[in-house]
A = this chain, B = another copy of it.
Amino acid sequence: MTSDASRDPRRAGLSRRRFFGLAGAGTAGVLAAGAAGGVIGHATAADPTAAGTAAATDAVPFTGDHQAGIVTPAQDRLHFVAFDVITDSRDDLVEMLQAWTAAARRMTAGQDAGPVGAVDGGQYAPPDDTGEAIGLPASGLTLTIGFGPTLFTAADGTDRFGIAGRRPEPLAELPSFPGDALDPARSGGDLCVQACANDPQVAVHAVRNLSRLGAGVVSVRWSQLGFGRTSSTSSAQATPRNLFGFKDGTDNLKSENGSAVERFVWVADGDPGADWLAGGSYVVTRRIRMRIEPWDTSTLAEQEQTIGRTKGAGAPLGQQAEFDPVDFTVRAGTGPAIPENSHVFLAHPTNSGTAILRRGYSFVDGSDGLGRLDAGLFFIAYERNPETGFVQVQKNLRMDAMNEYIQHTSSAVFACPPGISGPDDWWGRALFS
């Protein structure tokens, strides 16, 4: 196959764009279409954590100490998918993870998942790529894998793949929280892949081709599309607005704050499971339905008191500008300017005692049959330990005034291994070796 590869540009790994010769003037529109996904400032090729200089069309490096898609400056579009593993064969699972890694390596570089035209001219075999991203550039695609608790020990207690003993203690089902309305069918999962890109077609293409490669080994459990990143993960990115109309993520952990990222995001030597998870992280996802209609009929004052910031500038209440420091001692009238049951008060590291790296997206999934938009925030948070990360923050939000306007409808947690170290590495190697 090596000699084939050197002759066949598809196998030699040229980009989708170059192979199909679509860079000519007549098709510039499609290229631009893929190019302009919505956000500047994702990683440069040289340094995936340095923001602000790369074009939205560029590739983000697939290899590194950490997986891309965590501190990588947030791209603007998401397709997140959770899989059930439907085989008991460890060999089949490992083989699929190796095939996924190879395809992810290609797709994040802007290539197809495999040759579109089969060697026999397509008479007897399906294409090795589904084709809808032909002509589109890499678009900042990152693919980030995670392993759920049920991969280690199935719901019925079975140790299907001989890795039950390697589950790190913090990788466990999350506790239930007051107000949860979780749909089991779109919660949990044995594996997850977070696909982020600046073009939704590129993200969707990646998830679809991984699903295709996993036929017979995995089955899609649930998937979620998102748009309009609701957090900045780099100080070079402007703060976006969520569907409450407020700036979101002003005080998020930023990739430039290396010491905080080390402390709160990456699993370190000595942590549980560090033999295979050091340099990795945990991801918690929560599909948070927003009660759009009651929110839209609440007064501006109530909205601002609920959040703890102004709607226009995004300034902390009692301050003038977005990045003015949050000061909980400032008074307004007879009480604190930032109410003690506001979201900012309760979620702020000062009061929650911890920090998480948020990386969520807005969603609108049509309507709910009762005349309401099925919309909200697909919350994604990375942390070194779910117990001292998301769970600790969420417990502190018990009295959050925002709870009146939201409902958590799905929940999942996964352990995300460290980055791919080189050409022979594959997703899960340290865990399965």
| Chain A interface (Cβ < 8 Å from any Cβ of B) | 20, 26-41, 52, 56, 76, 79, 81, 84, 86, 116-118, 121-127, 129-135, 185-186, 198-201, 204, 207-208, 211-212, 215, 219-225, 227-228, 232, 236-246, 292-293, 296-301, 303-304, 311-313, 362, 364-367, 369, 371-373, 375
Contact B33 A238 (CB under 8 A): yes
6 A-B contacts (beta carbon < 8 Å): A29-B39, A81-B367, A132-B362, A211-B293, A220-B373, A223-B373
* Partner among B123, B220, B364 whose Cβ is within 8 Å of the Cβ of A225: B364
A38-B199, A132-B243, A238-B33 are known contacts. Are A367 and B28 too (CB-CB below 8 A)?
no
Q: Is the CB of B222 within 8 A of A127?
A: no
Name A220's closest neighbour in chain B (CB-CB): B367
Cα–Cα distance between A41 and B186 once the two chains are bound (Å): 38
> A8 vs B296: C-alpha distance in the bound complex, in angstroms?
22
**In contact, A312 and B39 (Cβ under 8 angstroms):** no
A20 close to B296 (CB less than 8 A): no
Partner of A134, one of B86, B224, B241: B241
Q: How many copies make up the complex?
A: 2
Closest to A239 in B: B30
Q: Which residues of chain B come closer than 8 Å to A198, judged between CB atoms? A: 36
Cα A121 to Cα B299 in complex, Å, equals 10
Q: How far is the CB of A171 from chain B (nearest CB, A)?
A: 24
A413 to chain B, nearest CB (A): 19
Whether the pair A36, B20 counts as a contact (CB closer than 8 A) is no
Residues of B within 8 A of A123 (CB): 299-301
Chain B residue numbers with a CB within 8 Å of A297 are 126, 215
Which residue on B lies nearest to A29, using beta carbons? B238
Q: Are B299 and A122 in contact (CB under 8 A)?
A: yes
Besides A20-B312, A121-B301, 11 other CB < 8 A contacts?
Answer: A26-B238, A30-B239, A33-B39, A33-B40, A86-B371, A116-B311, A118-B299, A126-B303, A131-B241, A132-B243, A132-B362
Asked if residues A293 and B215 are in contact (CB atoms below 8 Å), the reply is yes
Chain B residues contacting A299 (CB-CB under 8 Å) are 118, 122-126
The answer to whether residues A32 and B39 also contact, given A126-B298, A304-B122 and a CB cut-off of 8 A, is: yes
Q: Which 9 A-B pairs have the closest CB atoms?
A: A131-B245, A122-B300, A219-B371, A29-B238, A36-B36, A30-B238, A200-B227, A201-B228, A220-B367
Q: Given the complex, which residues of B lie within 8 Å of A35, measured CB to CB?
A: 36
A399 to nearest B CB, angstroms? 23
Say yes or no: A127 contacts B311, CB within 8 Å: yes
A76, A219, A236, A244, most chain B CB atoms within 10 A = A76
The residue in chain B whose Cβ has the minimal distance to the Cβ of A246 is B131
A27 and B204 within 8 A (CB): no
Q: Write out the residue numbers on chain B whose beta carbons fall within 8 Å of the beta carbon of A135.
A: 241
- Chain B neighbourhood of A124, CB < 8 A: 299
Closest Cβ of chain B: how far from A79's Cβ, in Å? 7
Closest-by-CB residue of B relative to A298 is B126
Cβ–Cβ < 8 Å partners of A375 in chain B: 204, 208
Question: Given A76-B33, A186-B366, do A371 and B220 touch, yes or no (CB 8 Å)?
Answer: yes
Shortest beta-carbon distance from A254 to chain B in Å = 13
> Across the interface, which residues of B come within 8 angstroms of A239, CB to CB?
27, 30
Find out whether the CB atom of A292 lies under 8 angstroms from the CB atom of B238.
no
- A303 with B127: in contact, given A132-B245, A371-B220 (CB under 8 Å)? yes
- Please give, as numbers and ranges, the residues of chain B lying within 8 Å of A125 by CB-CB distance: 299-300
- In the assembled complex, the CB of A235 is this many whole angstroms from the nearest CB of chain B, namely 10
Given A33-B240, A122-B304, A215-B297, verify A312-B134 contact (CB < 8 Å): yes
Q: Are A37 and B39 in contact (CB under 8 A)?
A: no
User: Across the interface, which residues of B come within 8 angstroms of A199, CB to CB?
Assistant: 38
Contacts of A369 in B (CB 8 A): 185
Q: Are A222's CB and B366's CB within 8 A?
A: yes
A242 to B369, CA, bound (A): 28
